[in-house]
């Protein structure tokens, strides 16, 4: 039943969840928002990250976050490879929009089925000493399995924000979104910059995946739930706007948490997809777009 404690707990849990959603959505915000690459397979890469962390955790007893960090170069390379294929097959020919979309849909499907063949439909989870712990502040309980992902998500957001605004390559990535002429004047090759950025976007999926499996058990088809979420967040946040993406992630986290607490978890997903549909229909530029 409704109570202030329940409400407070739901809001805090939502904010924590939101910090994690930011980590999942950053890659889409970069790929879709800055590069115009509609990578609907991003969530499946996140799941792949979860399984990588799972494999390391069960075989070597590695901490999931350490595993997630260790795998970022691998995911970066994967992203570079995927972008190369995408660029040569679609973007170069100017056929990126629809066929490119189907290409990523196919990738999504392949990765999901490969995971299914390897690990089956069972839910998998990781173990670490702190995962079951929690702290209590007054009536509000904060579970470490939510707090840690939120903090790491915030760290990732900050790191990406600083990289994009303060470094040469970061600014080059921002420039590629606006016009490639300015980029050429900077002396950078747009294709290389886009490859770098896409690799980076996929690299974030490694860490986000580790966070995902820390929050709860994971199975291969879970990526689909995140397709709507990440696009809702990226679009709501104003495409390519890192700060906006973070705020949008928090909003969605809180809305979902409230829905889940007061109406039941099975409605939470529909809320995020509903938000996406509404945003698309009413304000495609997002809350923080121009």
Partner 1 sequence: MQRRVFLASMLAVVVLGALVTRVIQNQYYYFAAYVILQYVVLATAWNILGGYTGYVNFGSAAFFALGAYTSVVLIKAAAAPLVVLVVAGGLVSGLLGLGIGYLTLRLRGVFFAIATLALAVVLQTMFINWEYVGGARGIYIIRPKTVPFFTSYVEFLFAVMVVLAVVAVTVAWWIENSRVGRGLAAIRDNEEAAECMGVPTLKLKLVATTVSGVLMGVAGAPFPYYVTYVEPSSAFNLDYAVNSLAMPMIGGTTTWAGPVLGAVLLGTAQQVATVTISSALNLLIVGIILVAFVILAPEGIIGLVRRVTKGKRG
CA–CA dist 263, 276 (Å, integer): 19
Please answer whether residues 236 and 275 qualify as being in contact, where contact means their C-beta atoms are separated by less than 8 angstroms: yes
Which residues on adjacent β-strands are paired with residue 141?
A: 136
> Does residue 226 interact with partner 1 by CB under 8 A?
no
Q: Collapse the DSSP code of 99 into the 3-class scheme (helix H, G, I; strand E, B; otherwise coil) and give the result.
A: helix
CA–CA dist 244, 251 (Å, integer): 11
Using CB under 8 A, which of 7, 98, 181, 185 touches partner 1? 98
CB of 102 to partner 1, least distance (A): 5
Q: Angle at the Cα of 33 (from 46 to 232), degrees rounded to 5?
A: 60
Show the binding pattern over residues 57-96: x = contacts partner 1 (CB under 8 A), - = does not. ----------------------------x---x-----x-
Residue 222 DSSP symbol: G
CA–CA dist 244, 238 (Å, integer): 6
| Identity of the residue, 119 or 169, whose beta carbon is nearer to partner 1 in the bound complex | 119
> Does residue 46 interact with partner 1 by CB under 8 A?
no
Using CB under 8 A, which of 141, 217, 274, 289 touches partner 1? 274
Q: Which stretch binds partner 1 (CB under 8 A): 14-22, 127-135, 169-177, 266-274?
A: 266-274
Q: Where are the alpha helices (DSSP H) in 29-63?
A: 42-60
**Chain residues in the site for partner 1 (CB under 8 A):** 38, 40, 85, 89, 95, 97-99, 101-103, 105-107, 109-110, 113-114, 116-117, 221, 224-225, 227-228, 231-232, 264, 266-267, 269-270, 273-274, 276-277, 280-281, 284
């Amino acid at each position: 039943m409704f109570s202030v404690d329940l409400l407070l707990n739901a809001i805090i849990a939502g904010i924590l969840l939101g910090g994690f959603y930011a980590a999942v959505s950053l890659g889409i915000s970069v790929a879709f928002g800055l590069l115009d690459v509609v990578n609907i397979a991003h969530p499946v890469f996140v799941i792949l990250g979860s399984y990588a962390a799972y494999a390391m955790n069960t075989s070597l007893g590695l901490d999931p976050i350490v595993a997630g960090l260790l795998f970022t170069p691998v995911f970066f390379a994967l992203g570079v490879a995927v972008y190369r294929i995408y660029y040569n097959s679609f973007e170069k020919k100017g056929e990126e929009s629809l066929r490119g979309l189907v290409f990523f849909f196919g990738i999504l499907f392949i990765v999901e089925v490969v995971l299914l063949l390897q690990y089956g439909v069972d839910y998998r989870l990781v173990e670490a000493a702190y995962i079951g712990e929690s702290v209590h502040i007054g009536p509000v309980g904060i579970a470490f399995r939510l707090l840690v992902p939120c903090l790491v998500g915030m760290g990732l957001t900050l790191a990406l924000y600083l990289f994009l605004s303060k470094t040469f390559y970061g600014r080059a990535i921002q420039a590629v979104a606006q016009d490639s002429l300015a980029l050429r004047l900077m002396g950078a090759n747009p294709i290389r910059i886009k490859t770098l950025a896409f690799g980076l976007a996929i690299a974030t999926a490694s860490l986000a995946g580790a966070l995902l499996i820390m929050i709860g058990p994971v199975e291969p088809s879970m990526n689909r739930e995140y397709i709507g979420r990440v696009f809702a967040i990226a679009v709501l946040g104003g495409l390519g706007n890192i700060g906006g993406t973070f705020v949008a992630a928090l909003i969605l986290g809180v809305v979902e948490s409230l829905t889940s607490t007061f109406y039941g978890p099975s409605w939470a997903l529909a809320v995020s997809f509903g938000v996406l549909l509404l945003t698309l229909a009413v304000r495609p530029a997002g809350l923080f777009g121009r």
